Amino acid sequence: MENNSFDINVQLNIETLQSGELTHTKISEPGKFTQIGNSIYLRFNESLENNDKASILVKITEKGEIHVKRVAKSTNLASLLYFTHQEHNTGHLETEYGVLPLDTYTKDSKVEIVSNPLSGKINIDYDLIYDNNVIGNYKFRLIFGA
């Protein structure tokens, strides 16, 4: 089994449209690219207020599915969302009050990775769905390089 790990720089831009309000989140952090077998893992942190951070893990499976896990211990929030091109998936949000099921509908997804020099792009356009209602439209744009 192959296990290659490299230091990378990550740029993540997320555009969110919820209740008619458009917001932008930008993250620029060092991270780690790891390949285990045919799966790829990107790990990095998101800086939060009060010197806190959330850890983010993006996994790309050999079938092209994308899993995004975000854990913010300081706010007791953890989410795990799954993305498959033009399909519905079930994920969840863990809060101190319990687990909320969250669904995603991936309108578009694209992964491009180049090995020399190591760099890549992950684009996901998706709807976030709770209780059969779309609660937000998202554009996830991650760019990384060694």
Tens of pLDDT, residue by residue, the chain (146 residues):
456 899 999 999 999 999 999 999 999 999 999 999 999 999 999 988 878 899 999 999 999 999 999 999 888 999 999 999 999 999 999 999 999 999 999 999 999 999 889 999 999 999 999 999 999 999 999 999 99
| Rg (alpha carbons) of the chain, rounded to whole number | 15
Angle at 131 between CA 71 and CA 134, to 5 degrees: 80
- Using the 8-state DSSP alphabet, how is residue 49 labeled? G
| Residues spanned by the domain of 94 | 3-145
CATH number for the domain spanning 83: value is: 2.40.128.20
- Using the 8-state DSSP alphabet, how is residue 64 labeled? S
Total structural domains within the chain: 1
Strand partners, 29: 10
Largest CA distance in the chain: 47
Q: Rounded distance, CA 26 to CA 12, Å? A: 6
Please tell me the pTM assigned to this model: 0.93
